[in-house]
Structure 1
C-alpha cells in the first residue's frame, strides 16, 4: 500500500505546484502550451530512451504482455466505436478517446507502484513497450494526418511514426537494449538530464490547466468523460484479469502485476498529446483528472483482493 500512496503523493504535489504557480500569477496559460511542447519534443523522447535502453526486452515479452495487449485492444475498440459512431467524433478525437481508455500511466505512477507494491520495476516494461512501439506510433499516424491536407501515400504512412520524436526516442532505446551497445557518458548524461524535464513538465502543465483552463467537468462532455473513466478503471483491469487468469493461467504476484498495471489511470502524456494537436483538450484533461483521482481506490481494491 505504501507504493500506491507514494506514487499518488508525488503526482499530487507536482500538479499542485503548477496549480499554485498559476493561481499566484507566476505563469499564464501560455506556459502550459510551452511546457507541453517542450515535454513532447525534448523531455519525453529523452525519458523514453533512458528507460527503454535499460529494459530487459526479452523479459518484457511475456504472458503479462499478452494479457495487457488484450485488455488494451478490448477497451480501445469500445472507445473507438463509441466516439466514432455514437458521439460522432472525427478520427483525431476518436483516437484520443481510445488513448484515454487504454493508455496507462506506466511511467511516473506505474514505476513507483511497481517498485513498492509489486517489488519489480520491470512489471511495467511490457506496457511501456506496447504503448511506445505500437499504440503511440499508430495514434500519431492518425493525428499527424489530421493536420495534413495531403492525400497520404504508403511511404508517408509508414515513415510518419519515425518522424515523431516520441517514437524515435523509444525505438532508439529498444535498439540499444537489444544490441547491448554501450552509450558513451557524453551522450547518456545530457539525455538523462533532458529526461528530467518530462515528468515534472507534464504534471506542472496539467496543474496550470486545472487552474486556468476550463474547470474539471466543464468540457461539456460529462457523459463521455464518465464512460471513458469507467472503461479505463473497471473494464480494462477486468479484461486483463480474465485473460491472465483463465486464458494464460497466471496467478499470485504475476496476476496481481497484470491487473494493477491495467488499473493504472490514463497517462498524463495523453493530455500533452491532446494539447500538441489541439484536439479534445478539455475532455482528455477531465478523463486524466478523473482516472488519476479514482484509480487510487481501484488500485487499493485490486491490491487488497489479489495480493
Structure 2
C-alpha cells in the first residue's frame, strides 16, 4: 500500500508545483498551453518510443487484458449512450469517454504495479490497450470532429498515422516486436526528452487549476459526477466481475486487475482535450476529483481483495 500512496504523493507534489508557478505568474495561460502542446507533440512521443521498445507485446494477450477491456468498454458504452440521447458533439463525447475510461497507467500505474503489486509488467496490458487501441481511436475521432468538412474514408483511416502519439506508440511496439535495441546515441536523447513528458503534463495541469475556475465550478456538476462515477466505480467493478466470473481469476491477479482499473483519469487526457479544445474543464476536473478519490478507493480494494 505504501507504493500506492507514494505514487499519489509524487503526483500531488508536481501538480502543486504547477499551482505555485501559476500563482506567482511564472507561467500564464499561454505558457500553460505551450507546455501542454510541447508534451503532446515532442515529449510524449519520445517517452512512448523508449518505454514500449522495452515492453513485451505478448503481455497484451493475457487474461488481464480481457478484464481490462470489459471495464473500459462498460464505461465508454454508458458515455456513448448518454451522448446520443443528449445530443453531445463528437469531440466532447470522446473526451468524456476518455475521462471515464482512460486510466493513469503510466506515471501512476507503473509505480503502483511495481511497488504495490510487486510486478511492473502487470500494467503492460493496460498500457498497450490504451496506446494501441483507445488512444489512436480517440485521436482519430477528434481529428474528424475538428475537420471543417466531411473527411474521405481514406483520410479518416490514415489520420492516426500522422498523429505524434500514435507514431511514437507504433515505433516503440515495432522495436519491441523486432527485439531491436536503439543505439545509445539515439536512445539517450529520446529518453532525456521523454523524461520531460510527465512533469510537463503535471505542471501544465497545476497551472490550469490555479488560473482556471475552481474544480466543480467550470462544468456542470452532474456531468462531473457521472464521468467520475463511471471511472471510479463502474470500470473497476466491471473489470472485477469479468475477471471473477468470466475468466476465473482470483487472488493476486484479480486484485491487480481491479486495482489498476480503479486508477484515476490520466493527465494526458487533459493534454488531449487542450490540444483539440474540447471539454477541457471537464477533463481537468475529472482528473482532479478521480485522483483525490483514487487513494481511498485503493485502500478499500486492498482491504476487500488483497
Mean CA deviation greater in 270-279 or 143-152: 143-152
Q: Does 1:8 align with 2:26?
A: no
Residue 190 of structure 2 aligns with which residue? 191
Deviation at 1:35, TM superposition (A): 0.6
Residue 201 of structure 1 aligns with which residue? 200
Provide the C-alpha distance between the structure 2 equivalents of 1:182 and 1:288, rounded to a whole number of angstroms.
Answer: 35
Residue 138 of structure 1 aligns with which residue? 137
Deviation at 1:182, TM superposition (A): 2.1
- Where 1:65 maps in the other structure, the secondary structure is helix
Residue 231 of structure 1 aligns with which residue? 230
Deviation at 1:46, TM superposition (A): 0.9
TM-superposition CA deviations, 1:60-111 (whole Å, max 9, x none): 320000110111011100011123323x310110011111110000001111
Q: Does 1:178 align with 2:213?
A: no
TM-score (norm 2): 0.98
Whether the 8 Å CA contact 2:43–2:196 is kept in 1: the answer is yes
How many residue pairs align between the two structures? 306
- Runs of 5+ consecutive residues of structure 2 not aligned to the other structure: none
Deviation at 1:59, TM superposition (A): 2.4
Whether the 8 Å CA contact 1:83–1:97 is kept in 2: the answer is no
Provide the C-alpha distance between the structure 2 equivalents of 1:120 and 1:60, rounded to a whole number of angstroms.
Answer: 15
Residue 94 of structure 1 aligns with which residue? 93
TM-superposition CA deviations, 1:162-203 (whole Å, max 9, x none): 110001101110110111112111111111011011100000
Q: Does 1:40 align with 2:40?
A: yes
Deviation at 1:139, TM superposition (A): 0.7
Provide the C-alpha distance between the structure 2 equivalents of 1:249 and 1:183, rounded to a whole number of angstroms.
Answer: 39
Deviation at 1:11, TM superposition (A): 0.1
- Where 1:106 maps in the other structure, the secondary structure is coil
Deviation at 1:38, TM superposition (A): 0.2
TM-superposition CA deviations, 1:146-174 (whole Å, max 9, x none): 12123222211111011100011011101
Q: Map of 1:119-134 to 2, 5 A cutoff?
A: 119-134=118-133
Provide the C-alpha distance between the structure 2 equivalents of 1:59 and 1:277, rounded to a whole number of angstroms.
Answer: 32
TM-score (norm 1): 0.98
Provide the C-alpha distance between the structure 2 equivalents of 1:84 and 1:165, rounded to a whole number of angstroms.
Answer: 30
Provide the C-alpha distance between the structure 2 equivalents of 1:154 and 1:187, rounded to a whole number of angstroms.
Answer: 36
Whether the 8 Å CA contact 1:60–1:122 is kept in 2: the answer is no
Residue 217 of structure 1 aligns with which residue? 216
Whether the 8 Å CA contact 2:60–2:129 is kept in 1: the answer is no
Mean CA deviation greater in 143-152 or 192-201: 143-152
Q: Does 1:104 align with 2:108?
A: no
TM-superposition CA deviations, 1:96-155 (whole Å, max 9, x none): 111111000000111111111101111111011111110111111111111212322221
Residue 299 of structure 1 aligns with which residue? 298
Residue 67 of structure 2 aligns with which residue? 67
Provide the C-alpha distance between the structure 2 equivalents of 1:260 and 1:284, rounded to a whole number of angstroms.
Answer: 22
Whether the 8 Å CA contact 1:36–1:205 is kept in 2: the answer is yes
Whether the 8 Å CA contact 1:80–1:97 is kept in 2: the answer is no
Structure 1 moving runs of 4+ over 6 Å: none
Deviation at 1:215, TM superposition (A): 1.2
Provide the C-alpha distance between the structure 2 equivalents of 1:92 and 1:20, rounded to a whole number of angstroms.
Answer: 31
Residue 154 of structure 2 aligns with which residue? 155
Deviation at 1:32, TM superposition (A): 1.1
Mean CA deviation greater in 54-63 or 168-177: 54-63
Whether the 8 Å CA contact 1:236–1:263 is kept in 2: the answer is yes
